[in-house]
Amino acid sequence: QVGPVRSEAPGQSLEQTQCSLHPFQVSFHQLGWENWIIAPHLYSPNYCKGACPRVLHSGLHSPNHAIIQNLINELVDGSIPRPSCVPYKYTPISVLLIEASGSILYKEYEDMIAQSCTCR
Amino acid sequence: VHAQDAVALAQVPTLLPLLGALLQEAPRKSPRRRLTRGRPLQYMLELYRQNADPHGRPREKRIFSANAVRLVRPAGRRALPPRGPWYVQTLDFLLEPNRDVEQLVRAAVVYRPHLHLSRSHLSCHVEPWAHKSAILLGGGSLGFALPEAWAERDLTNYIQQQVWPPKGKRVLHIQVRCQQQERTEVGLGWRQALATDTTFLVLYFNNTFKNVPQTGLQELVLRNPGGADLFSLARRVR
């Protein structure tokens, strides 16, 4: 038995509220790191935001647990939240920086840019 | 600094590996202006441009099989008196690896094979300065496409076998030998020409955080009751 479909918030389209990747850019100056990070000047970590749908389509790559948690929220206990919208895949970023010793370092940092989102 | 803050800062590398690594690498104060320009920086910017796009995303076709490259400047230099057409100086490079997270995959000395002075020019090459008779050079994979006017000598085997210390510091001695090309007066300018960032060491690493132990939140709460506020910890680091 499946409960009634919940309507989305008034005035907001499904696209606006559903879990999705949002572009976001920050400068290393804003982070206070411009003294030692030479390149790049801008960093685009992006972020995931939005509600997780009741039916988790395959494009969201949700694990079985998320499907069960949705069912629990709907059928058993409404105080158990729906799955959260979080990053699924990341990409690295290459940084050129000056070390404390005065050496110049090129370095790739893993998992620095959100590339897609999931509900889990 | 309050004692509590000091304790919190000491825990940062364990709790937040990324911030820990960044704190280790960040200079205590703003880098001197000379570091933010000059030939070494131009060299590394070229390396960066070949391996990452303007947004910092690594290019799909990686030029070298390493995820970190460090340019090391000489910590000391000694110029020998000229002998005939030969102008020689010895450079000392301080090696201080963190072998837990840095796996050396390639090492090379980068230098300028031709130095132009006002009335003459010198033709140069480099070699390790060691007492051992047989020095095994080479051994590294390809580096990146060198900017014009630069040359490099692969020292991967030599550094891995002779110099790379298990722990602590070691000094790599490199001799730069330059030969005068014309029978003209070189003058005193050769010392200055050799001293202005014409030779440096480039180390290629595979660098990982995976070996850094991570502490679970629960463990943190048990160890530090009432002080498990990661947010304020991160703010204090900032």
A36/B25 touch (CB, cutoff 8 Å), yes or no: yes
Total Cβ atoms within 10 A of residue B49: 14
Report ipTM (2 d.p.): 0.77
Average confidence (pLDDT) over A18-33 = 92
**Local confidence band at B228 (pLDDT 50, 70, 90 cut-offs):** very low
- Considering only CA atoms, give the Rg of chain A: 20
- CA dist., res. A15 & res. A50, Å (int): 9
Question: How high is the pLDDT of residue B218?
Answer: 37
Q: What is the mean pLDDT of chain A?
A: 87
CA distances from A40 to A11, A13, B49, B146, B203 (A): 39, 36, 10, 21, 21
What type of residue is B51? N
* Res B3 pLDDT > 60: no
Which residues partner with B107 through β-bridges? B203
Which residues partner with B150 through β-bridges? none
Residues B141-174 pLDDT 10s: 666 777 788 999 999 988 887 777 666 778 899 9
A103/B71 touch (CB, cutoff 8 Å), yes or no: yes
Any idea which of B39-48, B193-202, B223-232 has the lowest mean pLDDT? B223-232
| Cross-chain CB nearest to B25 (options A35, A40, A100) | A100
What type of residue is B227? G
Question: How high is the pLDDT of residue B17?
Answer: 67
CA distances from B168 to A27, A120, B98, B99 (A): 36, 45, 9, 10
Print burial letters for B115-146: b (CB count within 10 Å at least 16), e (below 16): bebeebbbebebebeeeeeeeeeeebeebbee
A38/B36 touch (CB, cutoff 8 Å), yes or no: yes
Residues B184-227 pLDDT 10s: 666 666 777 777 788 999 999 887 655 444 433 334 334 444 44
**Angle, in degrees to the nearest 10, between helices B17-25 and B3-15:** 110
**Chain A residues touching B71 at Cβ < 8 A:** 103-105
| Cross-chain CB nearest to B71 (options A39, A44, A104) | A104
Q: Is the Cβ–Cβ distance between A36 and A97 less than 8 Å? A: yes
Residue B221 tokens, joined: 């709460």
Q: Shortest CA distance to A90 belongs to which of A51, A53, A59, A45?
A: A45
